[in-house]
Amino acid sequence: RKEVEQDPGPFNVPEGATVAFNCTYSNSASQSFFWYRQDCRKEPKLLMSVYSSGNEDGRFTAQLNRASQYISLLIRDSKLSDSATYLCVVDVNYGQNFVFGPGTRLSVLP
């Protein structure tokens, strides 16, 4: 089983749609959780950290369920500029090992 798994994608959605990404992780001792975004031929960049109580940043909402070892990302009112690959990332060793999921590609269509 991979350490971090994500929806295989790709997701093709119209502008304005709401889209949800799911992620599961296998290491129950993982400390921190993140969603990164990677545009084509660019480096990954932090989209948002994921806190135990859930957190929201504008149109983006992240949830964490430690008991189920499950992380989610919800994007509301999708924009064309949201098109990218979304990477679920888990810190398994106190900032010394960030494990990436395979990513889910999102295309927002006009």
Partner 1 sequence: DTAVSQTPKYLVTQMGNDKSIKCEQNLGHDTMYWYKQDSKKFLKIMFSYNNKELIINETVPNRFSPKSPDKAHLNLHINSLELGDSAVYFCASSSQGGENTEAFFGQGTRLTVV
Q: Given the rule CB under 8 A, which residues bind partner 1?
A: 31-32, 34, 42-46, 49, 51, 85, 87, 89, 91, 93-100, 102-103
* CA–CA gap between residue 77 and residue 28 (Å, rounded): 33
Taking the complex as a whole, how short is the minimal distance between the CB of residue 77 and partner 1, in angstroms?
A: 25
Partners of 75 in beta bridges: 19, 60
The whole-angstrom separation of Cα 110 and Cα 107 is: 10
Q: How far is the CB of 9 from partner 1 (least distance, A)?
A: 11
Task: Indicate the pairing of strand 84-91 with strand 32-38.
Answer: antiparallel
Of 1 and 110, nearer to partner 1 (C-beta) is: 1
Compare residues 17 and 26 and give the one whose CB is closer to partner 1.
26
Q: Which of 59, 49, 51 is CA-nearest to residue 98? A: 49
When the beta carbons of 44 and 61 are compared against partner 1, the nearer one is: 44
Least distance from C-beta 51 to partner 1, angstroms? Answer: 7
Q: How far is the CB of 14 from partner 1 (least distance, A)?
A: 24
Note whether 72 and 27 are within 8 A (CB). no
